[in-house]
Amino acid sequence: MTEPPTAPGDTLLFENDRVRVWSMTLAPGGMFDFHQHHHDHVVLWPEAGRSQGQELGEPEWGITQDAEPGFVLYKAVGRAGPLRPHRIRNVGDTPTTHLIVELLGPSPHAAEEPWVHNGLGRFRRNA
C-alpha cells in the first residue's frame, strides 16, 4: 500500500492556522477508505449513526461506533503519531454525516491516548 491519505473526510469545510474542519458523509453501506490522522482531533456526530472501523493489517472490522445525536469523540494522536491507517463504513440504514475537527500544531501528549467521549453513544473495540 502506498502512503495513505491524510484527509480524514470527504469535504474540507474550514481551515486556518489552528484548526481544520472536515465532513464525512457515508451512504448506507458506504465506506471511506484507508486514511491516517496526524493531528489530535474531535469527531462530532450531529445525527445518530452506526459505523465500523478497520485498522490496516487487521482481518476484522474491529471498531464500532454507535452514535446518538450530539455524540462527541476526542482522540489525542500525540507527538509520536500518526495513527495507524484505518477505514470506516456505515452499517446503518440511513446516510450519516459526521464532522472531524483537526487541532493543528503539536499535541500536548507525548504518545497516543485512548478515545474519550461524552457518553451520547458508544465507541468500542471488539474483542
Q: What is the pLDDT of residues 18-52, one digit of tens each?
A: 999 999 999 999 999 999 999 999 999 999 999 99
Instruction: Assign domain 11-125 to its CATH architecture.
Output: Sandwich (2.60)
pLDDT tens digit string along 57-72? 999 999 999 999 999 9
Average pLDDT of span 79-99: 95
Q: Could you check whether the bond before residue 82 is cis, i.e. omega within 30 degrees of 0?
A: yes
**Angle of CA points 89, 52, 90, to nearest 5°:** 35
Helix (H, G, I), strand (E, B) or coil at 8: coil
Inter-CA distances, 10 with 6, 67, 121, Å: 11, 19, 23
Q: Return the domain boundaries, the chain.
A: 11-125
